[in-house]
């Protein structure tokens, strides 16, 4: 998945872009124990899954955000 598409999911879940360091974009959301880190590359499933766990977002919730226009 392209990183830009994943960031749309983050925005829909209420995350706010915080900063960028090199090719990593950092997102924050109130109540999270750690920030969401998104590398600016084609995202492997492992990075998506890790970030979804951090968000507490289910697979179904993720696909719901993807399908919303």
Give the pLDDT of residue 66: 87
Tell me what pLDDT residue 52 has: 96
Please give the tally of structural domains in the chain.
Answer: 1
Question: Can you tell me the mean pLDDT for 26-38?
Answer: 96
Where residue 11 sits, what CATH number does that domain have?
3.30.920.30
Which range marks the domain in which residue 52 is found?
3-67
The average pLDDT across 43-51 equals: 96
* Average pLDDT score, the chain: 94
Task: Locate the DSSP E strands across 1-69.
Answer: 16-21, 24-28, 36-39
Q: What is the pTM assigned to this prediction? A: 0.89
Q: Distance between alpha carbon 54 and the CA centroid of its chain, in Å? A: 9
């Amino acid at each position: 998945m392209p990183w830009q598409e994943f960031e749309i999911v983050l925005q829909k879940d209420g995350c706010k872009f915080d900063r960028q360091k090199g090719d990593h974009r950092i997102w924050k959301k109130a109540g999270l124990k750690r920030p969401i880190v998104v590398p600016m590359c084609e995202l492997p499933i492992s990075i998506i899954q890790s970030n979804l766990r951090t968000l507490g977002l289910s697979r179904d919730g993720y696909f719901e955000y993807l399908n919303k226009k």
